[in-house]
Structure 1
């Protein structure tokens, strides 16, 4: 079986680079429904950790609400769906190899005027569980909330943050086995497109503790 390569993802990766600022600056938007999106870019080397922090005060009492599993990603973001209000202060904490770190200035969210809110639906209940707008899908097709195709044409996987062991088996539309992922450690990541050689539907089975919890499919558009 060939080795599976995938990119880790917590929160979201945006295709609209103009909507993001480069660290130590960053963007923070109100996207409706009490939700807030924090987005950024960076060109840092030897980066060890990126955490998002929130407070009711612009200078003090910040608490970490999320830490990204792969801080090396140059474009990334975090969706906060549990803030007491959409007028909280946000900042980003960055740690480098060797113990050096920086903390950005704090910001309050501004109203989304870039269209970024169009990438979200209103059904999310917890941080980072964000389903992207899927207007490239066939009419009537409903994506899985666990394994789905995002607007950047990658297959994203978003699993519950619990103690169960998760496995995924992928099949061609005709039912031929393609590959499988066993005992998945990460809960938010996207699969490299090279493992899906053709466009169309890819079937999958999702298991938790060796029990199937979903049998569904993802749709890969022609330009995938």
Structure 2
């Protein structure tokens, strides 16, 4: 490993607290034409990890580094040769049995951590704001009124309040305003009613302990939107695409068994089929599929359905 590479990796060890877990990763910059790509590896087996760069978010990616040891728990790279500060980055990860995955592409964002003493508090308030939303069907006037109220709450959290003055004396004959109540629902069921004082504690609890979203249906009704995890795609062991986007059929027992593969568009419209796979490893040119995108397939062994799965041909085709 060169001295330059060692220096890059040493620099990145100082930033492990901001790293994401593969296949997620972080891309940050502090200017000076330096882009920092970093990650945490929790895969039990990983045989290759390459960093790729492109000026487009979906195509024309080129490998700028293949790590000599991809198994390091926390690692990264400093790119000083990017032609533009707006380049996209992604990771190509090869796992056990030749399975592989491409990460989502990301652009660098400015790392301003430590720039001001109140940074951590402001960041916390911003994160809360991403998961406290206003329903699309709320009337404009009510939405603006609610935004002003939420802004006041956030500002009170970010800016330390001075010592409270002595409470003003009650004006004779004037009744105090009743405390505002919020009704919290999950779907059509009422979970709880909260006072305005207790709303902050409730909001912070939902944001920090769950991945649910708090949505204001109107000025006094809150709906909890449960978090729905995204489906994680894992390629088939038998039919998958290689790094060039060509379709690979890997059937070690093909010479001695009867295998058939049927291919479909993503909407299940039939494309074509291979009635008998004779070779243990068959590579089909991606041009056979006419366009990029998702495709489905059915794999039959001795006339019985063995697997139904899908694969992706990248958009650079």
Q: TM-score, normalised on structure 2?
A: 0.33
Greater Rg over alpha carbons, structure: 2
Q: TM-score, normalised on structure 1?
A: 0.45
- Which of 1 and 2 has higher RCO (CA within 8 Å, sep 6+)? 1
